[in-house]
Amino acid sequence: MSPPLRPVTLDLHRIRLPLPGWVSILHRFSGVLLFLALPAGVGLLSLSLYDEDGFMTALACMRHPLTRFLLLALAWGFSHHFFAGLRHLAMDAHWGVDLAHARLSGMAVFAASGLTTAAFAVWLWA
């Protein structure tokens, strides 16, 4: 009896993850992104509420282009995490668990988070 043939190494470049898998991985990534950004956001809020000089410093920080780009990344993270979380809740209730509906809801998550982020970008740079 010969042992079953198994791959010796796992070639990650050849694995094609389906769209629902990407939505799930990015849901986790966006949650970590939001969690890691929380101390900076609370610190900036605290600075802005301390006194008038602190508010002006926080305002100058928020007007910097790099900060605006980071805010845009956080807006994407929040919107993707929100819509993917709704998708996961629906799937926990056994709604849309078959492959066709899972792909459709994955596309809807990407579309909704993209549109929300685009709307935030227009508001941010207007």
- Crossing angle, helix 65-92 and helix 19-50, to 10 degrees? 130
State the Rg of the chain over Cα: 20
Higher pLDDT, 67 or 11: 67
What's the angle, vertex CA 48, arms to CA 51 and CA 119, rounded to 5?
150
Architecture per CATH, domain 40-124, reads as Up-down Bundle (1.20)
Instruction: Give the pLDDT band of residue 1 (cuts 50, 70, 90).
Output: low
6-28: pLDDT as tens digits: 766 777 788 788 999 999 999 99
Q: Tokens for 30, please give them.
A: 């966006």
What pLDDT digit, counting tens, does each position of 77-125 carry? 999 999 999 999 999 999 999 999 999 999 999 999 999 999 999 999 9
Does the pLDDT of residue 44 top 90, yes or no? yes
Q: What's the length of the chain?
A: 126
Q: What is the domain partition of the chain in residue ranges?
A: 40-124
How does DSSP assign 24-57, residue by residue? HHHHHHHHHHHHHHHHHHHHHHHHHHH-HHHHHH
Q: How far is 32 from 38, CA to CA, in rounded Å? A: 10
